[in-house]
Homo-oligomer: A and B are copies of this chain.
Amino acid sequence: MLIELSHLRDQVDVLDKEILELVSRRLALVQKITELKNHSEVPFYVREREDFVVSSLREEAVLKNISPDLIEDILRRIFRESYARSGAASFKCFNPLLRKIVVVGGGGKLGGLFVKHFRLSGYDVEVIEREDWSTSREVLSKAGMVLVAVPIHKTLEVIETLNYLPDDCLLADVTSIKSKPLESMLKHHKGPVVGLHPMFGSPISSLTKQVIVYCDGRVPESYAWLLDQFRFWGITLQQCNALEHDKAMTLIQALRHFTSFVYGLHLAQENPDLSDLIELSSPIYRLELVMVGRLFAQDASLYGDIILSSNENKEMIKRFHTRFSEAIKLLDENDKQGFVDAFENVATWFGRFSERFMKESQNLLFQSQDASYRNKSDK
């Protein structure tokens, strides 16, 4: 029996190598396609094509009595790899006649990502840091576009100095709040203005499928090329009113980061043995630990600036805190029924989304368990 087992295992090992070979050939083919696209009008990432590949292979899987989700997961993982590899590709240029693009703070992680992609798209890009602020006036006065990518607390003071740009120069920023920067850009610059908020951190390997929220400022037709350029990079654009954006970010960023921060404070003071805690964790709690812990591998100052950037943030955090206090009353009164009623009201509010999230999260939890094994074998 053991002989038979090891014989079957050998066959599996052979299959695995064949799978690896096919995957590597697929990556090479897509590489070719990417190179072909770089010199064409065909955008880098075509949603319809991806959906077609997925749905047709899902159908094939069903015919073979294989889970379609399995094959879709594998496909999407390979897609992602292809996008990551295409990082070094060159891109079609949507505004070849544009004068110099000046990225203020282009030495930073986020700014650097844009510098890299603009250059890969054939633009003439110059980076300005605070230290060369004095000498930068001449460069800026000839710019075709200026992108402000400095830390959030520096954004306004930098924008205020940009009051001498050419009238046809496009002025844009990538700050995670939008109302004040947009207002200031419109005030100090007469020409085209657009506010951008890239909804991603710097450790990404490709811009494909990443989201950028943009808030129209002035003369949209004069930066249509920029949005086309972004789409060609594979970016998903979301148009949003600046005030609504800032309102949403009080939840999406400020409250989220602050509660993670407080949870970290709490853990550090409770001081459990992290290894033991991980051993005893449910997949859900493990995910929480990972998501909270990751915050503290990052820049304290950046998160402090985001949270402290507006009173709306503080008010949102305080409203959450008040609701927490109210909910604690249910505990003090041992009010099981009150808990169930409140719970079911929220369930009603989530509506169809809770079921959808349940389904979506299930797969994520499996993946996080897989990841934890990957992590173990790393050590």
Contact = CB atoms under 8 A, between A and B. Distances in A.
A331 interface: yes
Given A238-B280, A347-B300, A361-B294, A77 B370 contact: yes
Interface string A1-17: 11011001101110111
A156 B306 CA distance: 49
B272 A284 contact: no
Interface string A326-354: 11100110101001101111110110011
Contacts of A256: 284-285, 288
A371 interface: yes
Contacts of A320: 262-263, 266
A264 interface: yes
A120 interface: no
A213 interface: yes
A222 interface: no
Range class of the A interface residue count: 35 or more
A327 B346 CA distance: 27
A160 interface: no
Contacts of A327: 258, 261-262, 265
B199 A282 contact: yes
The 8 closest A-B pairs by CB, nearest first: A293-B357, A300-B343, A268-B349, A297-B354, A297-B358, A264-B346, A296-B347, A76-B370
17 contacts: A15-B29, A19-B23, A19-B74, A20-B60, A20-B61, A70-B77, A70-B78, A79-B370, A199-B282, A203-B358, A211-B279, A248-B276, A258-B331, A289-B357, A293-B353, A301-B340, A364-B368
B317 A40 contact: no
A343 B296 contact: yes
A327 B200 CA distance: 26
A145 interface: no
A371 B377 contact: no
A190 interface: no
A139 interface: no
B30 A12 contact: yes
